[in-house]
Amino acid sequence: MVEEEQWFYEETGSSDEVEALTLKKFKGDLAYRRQEYQKALQEYSSVSEKLPSTNFAMKRDVQEGQARCLVHLGRHTEALEIAANLENKATNTDHLTTVLYLQFAICSSLQNLEKTILCLQKLISLHPFDPWNWGKLAEAYLSLGPALSTLCASSQKQNSFASGDKTIKSSFTHSGKDCLLCFPETLPESPVFSGEASSSNNQKNEKALKNIQNCVAEKREAVLLETQMKACASFIRTRLLLQLTQSQQTSFALERNLRTQQEIADKMKEFGFKEDTLLLIAEVMGEDIVPEKIKDEVHTEVKCVGPTALTALVIASSKEFEDKWFRKIKDHFCPFENQFHTEIQILV
């Protein structure tokens, strides 16, 4: 068997450049399989440099191999650059799906929950009836929960309200519009923050600041609850899709399906949501689930639509995804957020 795996190490005497590069790629594949990632990277890089620009298929395979090697070598930034380049050059849904799974693997290795969630959301926007990606998304939201809890506890200790300083010093930080953990960092202008306030107003000022601090803490608790809701909704969507496909499955595929459904049922109990809430979530998350749509999704042809049209098929941000899938539930489940800014204004 070992000899069969290494047949391409033999001298072939071929003068065909493409064949020679293909053999080098096979050497890289074998090195990767043996977890010799530096050696595999060298083989892939050598092939990539010499491949003609017209050999798109092998170029993509080799670049994906490079990215996966770089992840194992801890060079995540370079891996992400390759993945981004592959995404920009994707010309059909099959290519884009492969690239998004690559990005998911890289972000998971980095343990970057926000980017991992965004990758899954992009995959789901491309394949909304794939139950396994919905399950992964639910697990990612669950992983986000403990991180939020830790930040909340830390933030409540670190928040400080200084006279003459309008900033709430918070341990919550975010990097941009796609951030899932966004909380207010500044308070509106108000005389209670003025250092010139007389001592007779100290007690009133302290009470106002305490009210605002409590309001911000409640806001953070609301975000924790919302994250739980998204996880629950994603799990319910997973179960609905699995229930629809189980009649077509047998053997180990059916066993995996039923086992996953039971695991989801157990998780539903842990959430502790009321039955009418779960029914509402199931209704919203199953609105588009009909057998005909599932059948079309499974047997759909690869769409060769070009980079521009492909971009339109995939969501641009987590907000866009969550507005589409969770807005109806959120409006019923988290009315606090809509009142938050109004309450801040009233308090100050």
What the block records as the tokens of 330 is: 């959120």
User: To the nearest whole number, what is the mean pLDDT of the chain?
Assistant: 79
pLDDT at residue number 27: 94
CA 249 to chain centre: 28
Confidence of residue 301 (pLDDT cuts 50, 70, 90): low
| Position 81, amino acid | E
> Taking 50 as the threshold, does the pLDDT of residue 171 lie above it?
no
pLDDT digits (tens, 9 = 90+) for 110-127: 999 999 999 999 999 999
pLDDT at residue number 219: 74
Residue 165 near residue 152 (C-beta atoms within 8 A):
no
Half-sphere exposure of 23 (CA within 13 A, CB side): 15
Residue 224 near residue 144 (C-beta atoms within 8 A):
no
> Taking 90 as the threshold, does the pLDDT of residue 74 lie above it?
yes
| Position 31, amino acid | A
Mean pLDDT, residues 82-104 taken together: 94
CA 194 to chain centre: 43
What are φ and ψ of residue 302, in 5° steps?
A: -65, 125
Residue 238's closest CA among 127, 126, 136, 318? 136
Q: Give the Cα separation of 130 and 134 in Å (integer).
A: 7
Residue 52's closest CA among 22, 14, 13? 22
**Residues contacting 238, CB < 8 A, separation 6+:** 131, 132, 134, 135, 138, 260, 264
> Taking 50 as the threshold, does the pLDDT of residue 168 lie above it?
no
pLDDT at residue number 335: 54
pLDDT at residue number 221: 79
Look-up of token digits 């589409």: 324
Q: Give the Cα separation of 276 and 198 in Å (integer).
A: 52
Look-up of token digits 């919203």: 284
What the block records as the tokens of 49 is: 């440099």
Residue with the bigger pLDDT between 151 and 17: it is 17
Residue 41's closest CA among 22, 67, 21? 67
> Taking 80 as the threshold, does the pLDDT of residue 342 lie above it?
no
Query: Coil, strand, or helix at residue 186?
Result: strand
pLDDT at residue number 225: 87
Residue 85's closest CA among 125, 303, 70? 70
Confidence of residue 190 (pLDDT cuts 50, 70, 90): very low
Look-up of token digits 């298929």: 57
Q: Give the Cα separation of 243 and 249 in Å (integer).
A: 11
Report pTM.
0.75
Mean pLDDT, residues 274-295 taken together: 88
pLDDT at residue number 66: 98
Residue 293 near residue 245 (C-beta atoms within 8 A):
no
Residue with the bigger pLDDT between 278 and 148: it is 278
Residue 134's closest CA among 298, 261, 323? 261
First to last CA, the chain: 76
Confidence of residue 337 (pLDDT cuts 50, 70, 90): very low
> Taking 80 as the threshold, does the pLDDT of residue 302 lie above it?
no
Percent helix, percent strand, percent coil in the chain, to nearest 5: 75, 0, 25
pLDDT digits (tens, 9 = 90+) for 250-281: 999 999 999 999 999 999 999 989 999 999 99
> Taking 70 as the threshold, does the pLDDT of residue 129 lie above it?
yes
